[in-house]
Chain A
Amino acid sequence: DTGVSQDPRHKITKRGQNVTFRCDPISEHNRLYWYRQTLGQGPEFLTYFQNEAQLEKSRLLSDRFSAERPKGSFSTLEIQRTEQGDSAMYLCASSLAPDYEAFFGQGTRLTVV
């Protein structure tokens, strides 16, 4: 599968722990996006990278959240001191250009217990 890859697919963590997710975009896609999807809702935008530069962050991305794309290829999303409200599917997407089709990964499902 040469699409957007996310790891892990599932993560169960205790409240208060830190977690980190990884996204590998389609190669040569220099635009990368993170979305969060809670049960019964559509995805919500979190943040956007052009190469290694984080160009936009949603207000949903509290101080406990940090996203990086250090070499302009893969990206990581870290959540510190997880809370039960962080339980969601975290989706990554990439595109060749800012307004070209966005291709989504299969997501990382986080459960905070």
Chain B
Amino acid sequence: AQRVTQPEKLLSVFKGAPVELKCNYSYSGSPELFWYVQYSRQRLQLLLRHISRESIKGFTADLNKGETSFHLKKPFAQEEDSAMYYCALRVGNFNKFYFGSGTKLNVKP
């Protein structure tokens, strides 16, 4: 069965510190992984997807099929990164996502 696990509900770091938000998945097929972000009082929006292999707002994520992980990283956190982050697995050829329960990132000044 498909499953996405985000083990940390809350992650607090100081501004300028490195950040790693963990995501592990369970899926027998070829996975498509995404990170979505929700800033305070805003709608859920796409941050990045593994197939594009790009850096968005300084964030990167590498799909590790051996460890079934898709951790989100940023070398130097900024206060404006404070938000709720959801890892998502897309199954099939349309936008049917399995979301993790989310990690709240709090970047302290």
Contacts and interface: CB of A to CB of B under 8 A. Distances in A.
A99 B93 CA distance: 6
Contact of B101 (A41, A56, A99): A41
A80 B85 CA distance: 32
Interface residues of A, number: 26
Contact of A99 (B44, B95, B98): B95
A51 to B, nearest CB: 13
For this complex, into which size category does the number of interface residues on chain B fall? 20 to 34
A33 B97 CA distance: 10
Interface in B67-101: 86, 88, 90, 93-101
Contact of A98 (B44, B94, B97): B94
A102 B86 CA distance: 14
A41 B5 CA distance: 11
B52 to A, nearest CB: 10
B86 A95 contact: no
B105 interface: no
Interface in A5-64: 31, 33, 35, 40-45, 48, 55-56
Given A40-B9, A42-B100, 5 more contacts: A33-B95, A43-B99, A45-B97, A99-B94, A105-B43
29 contacts: A3-B43, A4-B43, A33-B95, A33-B96, A41-B99, A41-B101, A41-B102, A42-B4, A42-B100, A42-B101, A43-B44, A43-B86, A43-B99, A45-B96, A48-B95, A48-B96, A56-B94, A56-B96, A91-B44, A95-B95, A98-B93, A99-B93, A101-B46, A102-B95, A102-B97, A103-B45, A104-B43, A104-B44, A107-B43
Interface of B: 4, 9, 42-46, 86, 88, 90, 93-102
Interface of A: 3-4, 31, 33, 35, 40-45, 48, 55-56, 91, 93, 95, 98-99, 101-107
